[in-house]
Chain A
């Protein structure tokens, strides 16, 4: 089964918190994704809606001076893992979430191998992008690699 893993970081990853963030996001990108959805932009850019008072963004265009009062931005150094190929199969070993319900465009926050991660659910054949707290990054990557390399389920599936 073909699965590739790659670990990286996102230079402009930022969490926005505060009031009237929809307005800010609108001015940055021209639209606002629905709750727990994301929109993709070029150069790994994206903007994800985590609720009326929170957005996770990776946009080179964003600058702190665009913030109004009661708006806060905090840099994020998440470890970002890209999984290409049959990522759903790999996830079935480490994540209880039923990915049958995950649709492209969804921003999913879920536990993977005991660590909280976020994911950008991609189109069918595209690469999954997931991020986690940087201090868990080495553990998560190591764990996923190990599962990928050793699991009989990834080689044979559940069917005999």
Chain B
């Protein structure tokens, strides 16, 4: 049966452009502008989907994205909504969640056992005996879900943008359009958002045939088009209202994050289905859906229609159907009408049955007849269309999300906004305003108020325009002993399910929802929540307000992950030397948002590469990029005082030109950072932080300056400066080629700092010993780093200098027993436990965490110790090596863990650090490491450092001066 009508005055389709798509192999003709559902219906294919639980046939219900009866799958996307997705040429679709296809779905066998599957049946079975549950679960999972995911789908990421306006109007129906125009006339920037491709709202499908409105419509459209300060965002919905008037506007191009000063919610109302037996048969639909179908797509909803109504809108639909040439067999009114449209319908000779008492639909695959009762007499009418016009529920999501409150208005029989947050306004039918001219007026008043709010002016008083008569039936629900009266079409929740849930004590709105799953499907209750509330209120004898409603959380419509996630903005940092590392075949690793060379690749395997780098440092020279260290300048009259307060050691007694290890703890005494501090001048220090804490340490320093009221400044120079560490016995010889500075032990001893020039560039040199060799850390402007690195490598070539990476450095420092904060320490470790009591100067009057450390000193329960294996794995029964985080087990209990461990090529043994309880810290004590396999191996507690215990290599001059711990 072809249902395409003659051209309609405001139709959205372009009949000059034909296209074809496929449903389950069948070709469907369509016009440009058709949605999938309208094209299917036009072809007479009224079964557009199968229901979730019983696999019942489903047709059009709302044609407005308030239900998911028409849900499809393509090769590229799951869960395509036929009611709102355009028909595209070449598109090939199948139904979702069928065991077969739309015509034959083996899943419909479920309906034959429906009586065994009452509401919440799955809570009552499948769990005993326990071992069978996984089998049942697998079956349940097989039945669950809608569309299918293809895990090979490629990633899609859409763009997002911010947009700002003074007044945002959500919904471009009669009220929203009027509001936008009025606000714009008051000189503010307006954004008008509508989910349809064209603005107009109900004007364009409910009032198409009201000739008196033609000029009004044209005027509104033209004014909006001409006003430069109205931006129309169409085919876009507000997925959520967030925070302070931020709207997440989802468009087909991507997400617009719209910030407004005031918001007008003119979202209107969702038409609600009536609940009666077989109300889900294809052919039973909302009257507004029928009007949309005719007006937008030029498609007839049926050949012979019966209209069930409780409001004037049902009569308007009857007139529209008649106008489109569709036979209207009868209007069934639940009450006694007295309005103009009723008169018009009567005048056309359409029978009107008043005060009908019950209704029931018949049909196997689709609607064939309607039975209803009037005055106790039963009537049956054969028809293929039953249009429901029994009431409305507010599309209130943005208002709820903004913190607005609704209450039930008995006059209109609708939930209306009761209190709204400042700057948030509502107008139109959501406000209970049903007369079309009142809607214009309400919009206008509200638009003015929204503009006034945005301009910080006093709000003008508003007339109350809400309808004096109800537009919704107070209980559009007719029970039937045989059931099949659906309340939630997504979830196949029937009236009897809700009765069952309530009878069992799930008798408040949230419990009823959670137990019955009403409103939990993809439509999120748009077509079901109001009826659910009415049913609960009725059965518990409470008012609608006492019953309350569930929360309307974002998203308004399900919103694509690709839109919400958007493009990746994940900052990554590169040091000034990055390209040199790339050229040297560095294998990079991530360190926070930095990339650092883990090691430099050669023909050797990873371990051999690392060992070669280690040996180069120990035997001759190595060079490492340490630019990722945090680098802070601290200066000002109170700089020394600040340094004393920030770090556990005294810094104020450091000499100019000296350096000192610096540990920072938090209020509770836990180590949070370490680095090296130098003193440039009386009032000027320079201090490094660990790579990961450069930002947080800087923030903390700034905060403490403010908090303590100190006359000092800290400047984060992390990215502005580069740093490299030249280490090894030949480092002095190499560096000497690039600087005039006297590098002799006497002139530049261990732990000293010198400001000089290297290769003609300003640089700071610090004689540090992190890796335990003679070495110089060179800090300089990032822009000067490349030539200096290249010169050092060139000068070092004759000594076999090697660039070394993070892995080699980790081993070198382990041989020296130096800790890495975050690896050897954990979220609770203090300096005493880290084996660094010397770093805590409790005699200082003040530093962060001092009172905690004063207490913790006597509470020490664990300590970092050095250990070495008694038998190397390679010589033992198995070659399993201990790993970092393997546990220390003593007498069957956990006594600690390995924090660092490695085989040292220099010492020819496996060494490590372990965090152990105080019973096991004595030198030479045997401890037992539990390997990953579970085997225990013995290790011995040994003194630190493992390598060069006297420190002769890092300071061959012996102890001369400087600040030694």
Bound-state Cα–Cα, A135 to B571, Å: 10
Interchain pairs with CB closer than 8 A, number: 108
Residue from A15, A72, A113 in contact with B684 in the complex, judged by beta carbons closer than 8 Å:
A72
Residue among A92, A96, A151, A158 with max Cβ neighbours from chain B (10 Å): A158
Residue from B570, B637, B720, B783 in contact with A133 in the complex, judged by beta carbons closer than 8 Å:
B720
Q: A115-B571, A136-B719 are in contact. Are A153 and B783 (CB under 8 A)?
A: no
Per-position 1/0 for B595-635, Cβ under 8 A of A: 00000000000000000000000000000000100000101
Bound-state Cα–Cα, A115 to B191, Å: 29
Task: Determine, out of A24-32, A37-45, A118-126, A139-147, the stretch whose residues face the partner at the interface.
Answer: A139-147
Residues on the A chain within 8 Å of B197, using CB: 160
Q: Is the CB of B719 within 8 A of A158?
A: no
Q: Number of contact residues on A: which range applies? A: 35 or more
CB distance from A55 to the nearest CB of B (A): 13
Residues on the B chain within 8 Å of A17, using CB: 635, 713, 715
CB distance from A151 to the nearest CB of B (A): 5
Q: Is the CB of A135 within 8 A of B231?
A: no
CB distance from A131 to the nearest CB of B (A): 12
Residue from B251, B569, B574 in contact with A113 in the complex, judged by beta carbons closer than 8 Å:
B569
Q: Is the CB of B232 within 8 A of A70?
A: no
Q: Is the CB of B253 within 8 A of A114?
A: no
Per-position 1/0 for A1-41, Cβ under 8 A of B: 00000000100000101100000000000000000000000
Residues on the B chain within 8 Å of A96, using CB: 162, 257
CB distance from B101 to the nearest CB of A (A): 36
Q: Which of A43-102 contact B (CB under 8 A)?
A: 53, 70, 72, 74-77, 92-96, 98, 100
Q: Which of B75-98 contact A (CB under 8 A)?
A: none
Q: Is the CB of B233 within 8 A of A143?
A: no
Q: Is the CB of A134 within 8 A of B576?
A: yes
Q: Which of B772-829 contact A (CB under 8 A)?
A: 781-783
Q: Is the CB of A75 within 8 A of B781?
A: yes
Say whether B575 faces chain A, with CB atoms less than 8 Å apart: yes
Residues on the B chain within 8 Å of A135, using CB: 573-576, 594, 627, 718-719, 782
Bound-state Cα–Cα, A115 to B593, Å: 12
Bound-state Cα–Cα, A93 to B234, Å: 19
Closest Cβ neighbor of A112 among chain B residues = B569
Q: A77-B782, A133-B719, A135-B574 are in contact. Are A150 and B635 (CB under 8 A)?
A: no
Q: Is the CB of B571 within 8 A of A114?
A: yes
Residues on the A chain within 8 Å of B59, using CB: none
Bound-state Cα–Cα, A70 to B234, Å: 59
Q: Is the CB of A146 within 8 A of B571?
A: no
Bound-state Cα–Cα, A113 to B570, Å: 8
Bound-state Cα–Cα, A18 to B232, Å: 51
Say whether B572 faces chain A, with CB atoms less than 8 Å apart: yes
Say whether B254 faces chain A, with CB atoms less than 8 Å apart: yes
Q: Is the CB of B633 within 8 A of A74?
A: yes
Closest Cβ neighbor of A75 among chain B residues = B781
Say whether B418 faces chain A, with CB atoms less than 8 Å apart: no
Q: Is the CB of B164 within 8 A of A100?
A: yes
Closest Cβ neighbor of B576 among chain A residues = A134
Per-position 1/0 for B573-588, Cβ under 8 A of A: 1111000000000000
Say whether B256 faces chain A, with CB atoms less than 8 Å apart: yes
Say whether B202 faces chain A, with CB atoms less than 8 Å apart: no
Prevailing SS type, chain A contact patch = mixed
Q: Is the CB of B569 within 8 A of A114?
A: yes
Residues on the A chain within 8 Å of B259, using CB: 98
Say whether B357 faces chain A, with CB atoms less than 8 Å apart: no
Say whether B160 faces chain A, with CB atoms less than 8 Å apart: yes
Q: Is the CB of B163 within 8 A of A158?
A: yes
Residues on the A chain within 8 Å of B719, using CB: 133-136
Residue from B254, B571, B635, B783 in contact with A136 in the complex, judged by beta carbons closer than 8 Å:
B571
Q: Using a Cβ–Cβ cut-off of 8 Å, how many residues does chain B contribute to the interface with A?
A: 45
Closest Cβ neighbor of A95 among chain B residues = B162
Residue among B235, B257, B637, B717 with max Cβ neighbours from chain A (10 Å): B717
Bound-state Cα–Cα, A94 to B576, Å: 25
Q: Is the CB of B720 within 8 A of A77?
A: yes
Bound-state Cα–Cα, A36 to B640, Å: 30
Say whether B109 faces chain A, with CB atoms less than 8 Å apart: no
Q: Is the CB of A75 within 8 A of B159?
A: no
Q: Is the CB of A153 within 8 A of B159?
A: yes
Bound-state Cα–Cα, A136 to B593, Å: 10
Residues on the A chain within 8 Å of B574, using CB: 135, 138-139
Residue from A70, A77, A160 in contact with B781 in the complex, judged by beta carbons closer than 8 Å:
A77
Q: Which of B427-455 contact A (CB under 8 A)?
A: none
Closest Cβ neighbor of B234 among chain A residues = A160
Residue among B257, B567, B576, B715 with max Cβ neighbours from chain A (10 Å): B567
Bound-state Cα–Cα, A70 to B711, Å: 11
Say whether B124 faces chain A, with CB atoms less than 8 Å apart: no
Residue from A15, A74, A92, A113 in contact with B163 in the complex, judged by beta carbons closer than 8 Å:
A92
Say whether B945 faces chain A, with CB atoms less than 8 Å apart: no
Bound-state Cα–Cα, A110 to B532, Å: 49
Bound-state Cα–Cα, A128 to B232, Å: 29
Say whether B364 faces chain A, with CB atoms less than 8 Å apart: no
CB distance from B152 to the nearest CB of A (A): 23
Residues on the A chain within 8 Å of B163, using CB: 92, 158
Residues on the A chain within 8 Å of B233, using CB: 158-160
Q: Is the CB of B164 within 8 A of A98?
A: yes
Bound-state Cα–Cα, A115 to B164, Å: 22
Bound-state Cα–Cα, A96 to B259, Å: 10
CB distance from B595 to the nearest CB of A (A): 10
Residues on the B chain within 8 Å of A158, using CB: 161, 163, 191, 231, 233, 251, 256
Q: A74-B715, A77-B782 are in contact. Are A93 and B571 (CB under 8 A)?
A: no
Residues on the A chain within 8 Å of B715, using CB: 15, 17, 74
Residues on the A chain within 8 Å of B164, using CB: 98, 100
Q: Is the CB of A160 within 8 A of B161?
A: no
CB distance from A155 to the nearest CB of B (A): 9
Residue from A74, A75, A77, A159 in contact with B232 in the complex, judged by beta carbons closer than 8 Å:
A159
Closest Cβ neighbor of B568 among chain A residues = A143
Q: Identify 25 residue pairs between A and B in the complex whose beta-carbon atoms are under 8 Å apart, listed by A's number.
A: A17-B635, A18-B635, A72-B713, A74-B633, A74-B717, A74-B720, A76-B720, A77-B781, A77-B783, A93-B567, A94-B569, A96-B257, A98-B162, A113-B569, A113-B571, A133-B720, A135-B718, A135-B782, A136-B719, A139-B572, A140-B571, A147-B159, A151-B161, A152-B159, A160-B251
Q: A134-B719, A153-B161 are in contact. List 12 more A-B contacts (CB 8 A).
A: A72-B633, A72-B635, A93-B159, A93-B160, A93-B161, A93-B162, A136-B573, A136-B719, A139-B572, A139-B574, A158-B233, A160-B233
Question: Which residues of A approach B to under 8 Å, CB–CB?
Answer: 9, 15, 17-18, 53, 70, 72, 74-77, 92-96, 98, 100, 113-115, 133-136, 138-140, 143, 146-147, 150-153, 156, 158-160
Q: Which 10 A-B pairs have the closest CB atoms?
A: A133-B719, A135-B719, A152-B253, A135-B573, A113-B569, A151-B159, A114-B571, A77-B783, A92-B161, A160-B234
Question: Which residues of B approach A to under 8 Å, CB–CB?
Answer: 159-164, 191, 197, 231-235, 251, 253-254, 256-257, 259, 567, 569-576, 594, 627, 633, 635-637, 683-684, 713, 715, 717-720, 781-783
